[in-house]
């Protein structure tokens, strides 16, 4: 008999990659995907598993105790909680949904989990909880200093999850991953935005001086880290999951244009993001000691990711010609 895995936010970027990863590796398990289908949720991401008898989609909000309670009555063995509002720029304009989903929604899930017999609750957090790290590498014991409403909401959510471990013994494990890249990432995020703009000959809006540094992690390596933690992670612990590929945004943009054979004149320098964190960098030795290492070769996975967007216009053209247009105008016009 396989296990029952409850995934929240499985119609988003990392969640859908995780469902693909999991169903391929553990075909005997049953996966239930609870997703509200916000602007970022997209069932196109899961087309190829939709008819699999081991997969079930439930449209619903993690903040709704009825929906969540019903799913816990089915006694999941493992919960992997991805669902969140995730885009920093949107959180600057309107933090409301971030508080509602990332904090309150996590609370509703934790409450339901507390009264269940779930064996493992994975709280997906982020390296952004450490704030801007000018030098060195963040360790799990470092002070948390989130600096934008998204990062602060994620910090609230993961600390709340930890409190359910400390207070009620809920088997929580927290991951703090660095910036993921790969297929099915909503094109508001820098890599899919810049690749798809470049493919359409639209300027690439580079914020500020373009020297902000991110640590890039191929999404499958994030999934393998979660997999390892479900099987061997210590409950109540936090684990960094960093790709170890530190690049500033100018370097990142240069690589994209270079691979596509396009000129740097496509770059348009625009006004910086408010409170823009300068650098994120993770020390992932704690997870590595458990046996994890990122399998991806950065350059080949980046190129494969660029190729995926080049070859799957059907996926992103639909998004970019819809509500996204209004968002793009508001974010980038007159910037």
Do the beta carbons of residue 247 and residue 190 sit within 8 Å? no
Among 189, 222, 286, 320, binds ligand TYD (CB under 6 A): 189
Residue of 128, 220, 227, 277 marked active site? 128
Q: Which position among 207, 259, 327, 328 is part of the footprint of ligand TYD (CB under 6 A)?
A: 207
Nearest of 261, 144, 142, 254 to residue 204 by alpha carbon: 254
10 Å CB burial of residue 131 (0-12, 13-18, 19+) is buried
Instruction: Note whether 174 binds ligand TYD by CB under 6 A.
Output: no
Contact between 40 and ligand TYD by CB under 6 A: the answer reads: no
- Cβ proximity to ligand NAD, 133 vs 177, nearer residue: 177
User: To the nearest whole angstrom, how small is the minimum distance from the Cβ of residue 320 to ligand TYD?
Assistant: 14
Least gap, CB of 265 to ligand TYD (angstroms)? 17
What is the DSSP-derived secondary structure letter of residue 137? -
Active-site choice (21, 55, 107, 150): 150
* Residue spans of alpha helices (H) in the chain: 13-25, 65-73, 88-93, 96-97, 106-114, 149-168, 190-199, 219-232, 249-260, 285-289, 298-311, 313-320, 324-332
Report what 91 binds from ligand TYD, ligand NAD, none; CB cut-off 5-8 Å by kind.
none
Residue of 249, 305, 315, 319 interacting with ligand TYD (CB under 6 A) = 249
Residue of 85, 89, 127, 188 with catalytic role: 127
Q: Are strands 172-177 and 120-126 parallel, antiparallel or unpaired?
A: parallel
Neighbours of 89 (CB within 10 A): 18
Of ligand TYD, ligand NAD, none, which one does residue 207 interact with (CB within 5 to 8 Å by kind)? ligand TYD
How far is it, in rounded angstroms, from Cα 310 to Cα 302?
Answer: 12
Give residues in contact with ligand NAD (CB under 6 A): 8-9, 11-15, 34-38, 40-41, 61-63, 82-86, 101, 105, 124, 126, 154, 177, 179-180, 186
**Residue 127 and residue 215 in contact, taking contact as beta carbons nearer than 8 Å:** yes
Residue nearest to ligand NAD (CB): 12
Find the binding residues for ligand TYD in span 59-118 (CB under 6 A).
88
What residues contact 68, with CB distance under 8 A and at least 6 apart?
A: 34, 60, 62, 108, 109, 112
Of residues 171, 183, 205, 225, which one binds ligand TYD by CB under 6 A?
Answer: 205
Residues carrying an active site annotation? 127-128, 150
Which residues contribute to the site for ligand TYD (CB under 6 A)? 88, 179, 189-190, 193, 205-207, 212, 214, 249, 273
């Amino acid at each position: 008999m396989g296990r029952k895995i409850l995934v929240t936010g499985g119609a988003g970027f990392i969640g859908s990659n995780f469902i693909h990863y999991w169903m391929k590796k553990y075909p005997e398990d049953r996966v239930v995907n609870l997703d509200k289908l916000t602007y970022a949720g997209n069932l196109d991401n899961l087309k190829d598993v939709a008819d699999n008898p081991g997969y079930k989609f439930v449209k619903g909000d993690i903040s709704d105790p009825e929906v969540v309670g019903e799913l816990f009555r089915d006694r999941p063995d493992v919960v992997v909680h991805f669902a969140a509002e995730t885009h920093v720029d949107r959180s600057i304009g309107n933090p409301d949904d971030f508080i509602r989903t990332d904090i309150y929604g996590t609370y509703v899930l934790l409450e339901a989990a507390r009264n269940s017999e779930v064996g493992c609750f994975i709280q997906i957090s982020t390296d952004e909880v450490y704030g801007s790290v000018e030098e060195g590498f963040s360790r799990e014991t470092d002070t948390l200093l989130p600096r934008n409403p998204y990062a602060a909401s994620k910090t609230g959510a993961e600390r709340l999850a930890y409190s359910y471990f400390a207070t009620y013994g809920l088997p929580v494990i927290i991951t703090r991953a660095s910036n993921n890249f790969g297929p099915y990432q909503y094109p508001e995020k820098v890599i899919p935005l810049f690749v798809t703009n470049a493919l359409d000959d639209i300027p690439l809006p580079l914020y500020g001086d373009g020297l902000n540094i991110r640590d890039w992690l191929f999404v499958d390596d994030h999934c393998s880290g979660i997999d390892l933690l479900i099987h061997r992670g210590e409950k109540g612990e936090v684990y960094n999951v960093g790709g170890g590929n530190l690049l500033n945004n100018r370097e990142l943009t240069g690589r994209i244009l270079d691979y596509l054979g396009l000129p740097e004149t496509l770059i348009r320098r625009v006004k910086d993001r408010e409170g823009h964190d300068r650098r994120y960098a993770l020390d992932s030795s704690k997870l590595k000691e458990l046996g994890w290492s990122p399998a991806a070769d950065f350059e080949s996975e980046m190129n494969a990711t660029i190729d995926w967007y080049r070859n799957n216009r059907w996926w992103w053209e639909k998004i970019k010609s819809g509500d996204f247009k209004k968002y793009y105008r508001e974010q980038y016009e007159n910037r």
